[in-house]
Every structure is written in C-alpha cells, then in structure tokens.
Structure 1
C-alpha cells in the first residue's frame, strides 16, 4: 500500500527489516519461505559484502539448509578437513583438530564462503522489490500500535513489525536502548587473493600465533585464499588503518617467520583487497539486561551481538538469528490467521513472538560474545604476556581449537515446527 502527498511519500508494510546483511536477508528469506512478505531497507546502492569471506561451521549450514540455499553455496566452496595451529615463536605445531571425525553431533561441515556469494544466494531467492536500496533510516517514531520509519530521502514507512539488522552502528538497537558496541583494543586486517592457478594448499584452516598477534589462512576454493591478521595496535599503528600499502608492509614484517607459500599469497594480494577494522563487541551484561525486543521491535545479527572474530561465529550466529526470528513470527502469523482480532490483539501476538525470539537468542548470544572475547585475549598472548603465550602454546592450544568446534555444535531448528 502506498499513499503520496505533496511533500512526502508514505508506505505501509507489515514487516520492515532494516539492513540487507546476513541476518536481514536470512530473516526475509525465512519469512518468505513461510509465505510472509517483508520489506528490506538497505542504505547503500547495492549489497555490501564487507569482510570478503566468513567461516561457516556446522551450525551455519543447519541455518542455510533451513532457508533452502545450502545447495547453492556448497559447490562453490571447498569442504575444510581440519585445523592446524602453529606457533611462530617456536616454529612448532601446537594442535591439530579434524573437522571430519564424527563426534557427539555428527560430522562437522566447515567451509570458508565468500560474503558476496552468500548475500547473492539469499537475495536471489527473494521476490523482486523485496530489497529497497538507498534507504537510510534516520528516525523511528511511535504511532499507536505501529512504528513509522523516516528515511533520508524523505520517505516515511509505517510498519507493524520493525526488525533491526543494521550492524554494529544500528539505529534500531540504539532506539531499543543499547549503547554503542565497545572496542576491545584489537584490530583485524583481512585480505583475499584469487590466483590464476590452483593454490595447492590443503583444505585446512591454518592458524598461526605470535607474541601479540594471531593470523590465519583459509582456502575458499581451489584458487582463492582468505587470510586475516589480528593484533593490538599502538597509537602510531592506528594511523596505518587507512593506508593499505603500510598495512601490507606491516603484516609481512610481523609474519616474517610464516611459511613462504602463504607469505607469497599475502605479497600477491592487491592493495584494494586489504581491509583493516577495529574489533568491537557487546558487553554480555547488556545482552542480559537489555531489550533484545520491545513491543513490535527487535534486533538481530551484529545489531544484537557484535563479537570478536575469534570463534568464527559472527556470521554463523546471524544466520541462526534469521531462522529463529522467522520461525517465531511465522507462529504468530499462523495464530492470527485463525482469529479475527483487532489491532491491539495483533500487536500483543507480535510482541509475544518477538519476546520468544529474544528469550531463545539471549543466552546463546551471551555465550558466544563472552567466549569469543576470552578466546581472543588468550590467543593473542594476553596482550604480549610471555607467561600467557607459554601456556597458550603448551597447554591451551588444543583446548581452544576444540572449543571453537564445540560452539558450532548447535542447531537453530527448522523454519516450521509441528504446530499440532
């Protein structure tokens, strides 16, 4: 429904999702699979694939199966067989973990997938017009049992359900009362290189530790390698973050003891494929006491639980959010279809559905955010502590590698449960 006046355009949509990232598109597709349309607002002029790639574990593939795009992504990304961790201080391997051996929850499917391909796979399954680009939300207004979104282009959108999937700087999270995500004092430099020929690396997650940094290299396919470097920058080091040439020089200097074939890949990485960003996270007590949902408004993905990348669960948990949120709203929709109720009753059912989602995701989010922060601190040697580095390499490396795998042993469930 659309109405127009001489000064503004007003749209009316039942469900509006702010942000066409991983959680936003997963939620929209989950709803669409249940026969529930939505409108996704994206502030940029196209899908944004910030970060090049993401590691997807067993829990992510459960979610991708639920929304029906796993089969699209599998053939394009190699199946990782395991993790190999090496200390660049001693030159010795500190742990190896297999991703193939069957454990309590069955074999673990792990792949490093291109963000661009993931977003395209989700978006291409949505009906034309679901995503509205160049639609930046600047204000949220209460209007009875609805919310009115005011966009930068002057458009107003009235909606019964507002879902914030707008990242770490979320406008919707701020409306719910969340503070800005906190900096952890560390930064990540990421890059991706596509070679002309087969790179020849085993299908393994290769991880390396130094005195005050962590690095890794992961095959995406047989020609493409994704790599990362996390560290604690000094005030002078922060000046490099907008200078790809200096970032490249810095990484290669810090990784001088790295095996030559991986160094060669980093050396061959084009400067435009270097990206640096400070790491941020949500304090766990904010997730415990804050409003994940309020009335007919909620948040998901990085808007809810920004976390450090040390568990590789940021994108995976965003996929989980989308499935759980779509399922909860789907249950509310089914209930409403059997009842001729007024606006207030409909609002209450939506509120209950979002509260159910919030309750289901709260402790999972707290667990992942906290675990990632602790693991990251230990993995980087406690800020340069030789004692922490010693215990990490000698005793904790196998435990930390196993913990990462354990956190992925989670099933967000299917889109539709048995309603009988």
Structure 2
C-alpha cells in the first residue's frame, strides 16, 4: 500500500512515520525547499507525548528533560488570576515537555526514509481517487493525507465551496529569549493583549505574545518592548534580551467546522482539518493524535473503512477542542475597562477544579 502525504510539517511527518512503520510506502510532498519548521518553542502536553510514544519516539523527546505544566494566568501587575496546582496536574495527567519545533521536525524526519521525502514540490490539486497534481507531474496512491496547513490545497480541492479559515482578530509573535531564570510557565492577560513564557530545558525561554490587530498588520520588537515595558517581571527583561531576527509574527486563524475529514481516498489532518487558536496549546498535539489514529485505522480496517473510522474518532474530538480553545482565550482579548475589571475580580474567586475539568478531555486521550 502507498500513501502520499501533502505537507512535511509535524502532522505530515508523523503520519509518514506511522504508516512507514506499518509497512506502507510513503511519499511526502513539501512545498518548501527543505524539511524544517519555522517556529519557536513547543509545549508537548501529555496526550501529544502519548502519540509520540505510539510512534516509538517518546523516549527520544523525553531525553531533553521534563517541563512543568502551566502555572496559571497573571494580571499585568503579577497578581494571579488563575493558579494551577502543578504537582496535581502532573500526578493526574502525566508528563509535559518543551522542545523547539525544528527539533521535533528533525526527529520525525529522521524516522522517514530519505528517498520518501520530496522537498520543493508544490501541490496544485488533489483528487478523491488518490491522484495528486504537483509541480513535478502527477502521482497517485491508495491514500492521500492532506497535512498542508491552515491554507490547505488538499482541503480546497476536496471541498471547494466551503468557507476557508477566518481571522480571529488577533496576531501572535513568538520568540526564544536567551537563558535566564524564570519562575515556571505562565501567561499574563492585559486588555486585548497577553504574554506567555515557557522555560526550555537548555535555559532559554520560549515567549509568545498576542494582541488584537487588523489582519496583516506588522509590529517589530521595539514596539513590543514599549507595549509591555510596564508589565510585571520578567516580561520586560525577556523582551529586552531578545533579538529582532528571532521574532516571528503570524496572524491567528481558525477553521470553521468541516462536515467530514475524509472524501474518497483522501483525509485531512492537523491545521488542514481543524486549525484552532493557540489558547490551549493543542495544535501540534492534535495533529500527532490525528496521524497515529489515521495510520492505525487504515492499516487495520483498509482504506475506505479506516477513513470512516478516522473521521468518526477525530472530527468530534478536534472540533470540541477548537471550540474550547476559542473560549479559553476570549476574555484575554476584551478591551472594555469595565469587562476586564470584572474579569480580574471574578477569575481568582473561581475554583481550580472548574478549569481543570475543562482541560481533562484534551489530556486524557489514548489511541
């Protein structure tokens, strides 16, 4: 059996690894000239780590050292809005890890035969029968996996009349600051903008920032330093230590619900199927779950029955997480003074169990 994977990011390479391990011939078509990841840090939550375990790669990722779960959410003055019981989260759900996105891509790529990787290949159209039209000609396979991101050609080919991704109203910056001491992983909410920091095993600090902005607007590091100069420590120090070349900015999109993740011999996964806001940090983890579930289903049940099983398993779960992710970050982007004052007064009064229950379905996945 042969599979063509469109897209060589985390989800596409994970699908290639999973299918290759089951004896399938795989071909990974990647538009970029090299298989790499443009990004910064990545938190791998317990469910994502279980997916990597299913690929036999979990221990290699664990070798970098564990990370703590998120400690919670602060106000701009440093007071806690939500304070998580970090030890309880680890006890209940398992291990968290933090890696560089490029390192995870390298790990996945190394588990795929080199001859199966085809960088510099621009996919132009995908047909339900498993035919892929691309810059190098035409290829066909028993299964095509569309893992080509939020602006997926595979998705547009399969469902040309459905709405595409929608801009959610805020843009995001990501960077890695030089090594410096920080107290765990936390996020800070202001009015219409927020800042998060996650320590990495080598001492560097992964930082992400989000702010309400018109689509396509671009803001550099100097303006970010000014915006966040009066927020609590260590936020100003992290931004002051960063280099402009290390800052990546991307607008944030969400994908409306698809009626199916499969058509004919084609499946979509990851952002191509369910692009979501980054508020729960579940984007890459859900792509890894998709890849493992898809490979298991089609190899066990055959392509058509396996694709139906994949859709039944993955569509309700991922669309639920898309919804919860949207809800989780909504209050951070309020701009009304009265609403943010109310938010800052009410959130500390709510029981931690309320927040933990909302996260349980994401963390407890198993294949």
The normalised TM-score by structure 1 is 0.81
| Counterpart residue number, 1:165 | 147
Task: Give the superposition deviation at 1:403.
Answer: 5.5
1:181 aligns with 2:134: no
Q: Secondary structure at the match of 1:200?
A: coil
| Counterpart residue number, 2:186 | 206
| Counterpart residue number, 2:287 | 318
1:106 aligns with 2:60: no
- In the alignment, the residues of structure 1 paired with residue 117 and residue 224 of structure 2 have an alpha-carbon distance, to the nearest angstrom, of 38
- In the alignment, the residues of structure 1 paired with residue 275 and residue 191 of structure 2 have an alpha-carbon distance, to the nearest angstrom, of 26
Which deviations, in whole Å up to 9, do the C-alpha atoms of 1:82-110 show, x marking residues without a partner? 4132101x54222221332268x834322
- In the alignment, the residues of structure 2 paired with residue 123 and residue 352 of structure 1 have an alpha-carbon distance, to the nearest angstrom, of 28
**Is 1:99–1:109's contact at 8 Å kept on the other side of the alignment?**
no
1:93 aligns with 2:80: yes
- In the alignment, the residues of structure 1 paired with residue 339 and residue 269 of structure 2 have an alpha-carbon distance, to the nearest angstrom, of 34
| Counterpart residue number, 1:418 | none
Task: Give the superposition deviation at 1:183.
Answer: 0.8
1:60 aligns with 2:48: yes
Of the two, which has the highest radius of gyration? 1
- In the alignment, the residues of structure 1 paired with residue 81 and residue 223 of structure 2 have an alpha-carbon distance, to the nearest angstrom, of 25
Task: Give the superposition deviation at 1:190.
Answer: 1.2
Task: Give the superposition deviation at 1:77.
Answer: 4.4
Residue 36 (structure 1) aligned to one of 24, 27, 35: 24
Q: 1:326 to 1:183 in 2, by over 3 A?
A: same
Gaps of 5+ in 2: none
- In the alignment, the residues of structure 2 paired with residue 102 and residue 226 of structure 1 have an alpha-carbon distance, to the nearest angstrom, of 21
| Counterpart residue number, 2:34 | 46
| Counterpart residue number, 2:363 | 409
**Is 1:168–1:306's contact at 8 Å kept on the other side of the alignment?**
yes
Task: Give the superposition deviation at 1:75.
Answer: 2.2
**Is 2:298–2:306's contact at 8 Å kept on the other side of the alignment?**
yes
Q: Secondary structure at the match of 1:168?
A: coil
**Is 2:170–2:214's contact at 8 Å kept on the other side of the alignment?**
no
1:76 aligns with 2:76: no
Residue 316 (structure 2) aligned to one of 345, 363, 371: 363
Task: Give the superposition deviation at 1:274.
Answer: 0.8
Task: Give the superposition deviation at 1:213.
Answer: 0.9
**Is 1:42–1:134's contact at 8 Å kept on the other side of the alignment?**
yes
Provide the aligned C-alpha RMSD in A: 2.1
Alignment length (residue pairs): 362
- In the alignment, the residues of structure 2 paired with residue 303 and residue 53 of structure 1 have an alpha-carbon distance, to the nearest angstrom, of 21
Moved over 4 A (4+): 397-401
Q: Secondary structure at the match of 1:101?
A: helix
Gaps of 5+ in 1: 1-12, 333-348, 414-420
- In the alignment, the residues of structure 2 paired with residue 77 and residue 386 of structure 1 have an alpha-carbon distance, to the nearest angstrom, of 41
Q: Secondary structure at the match of 1:65?
A: helix
- In the alignment, the residues of structure 2 paired with residue 82 and residue 141 of structure 1 have an alpha-carbon distance, to the nearest angstrom, of 42
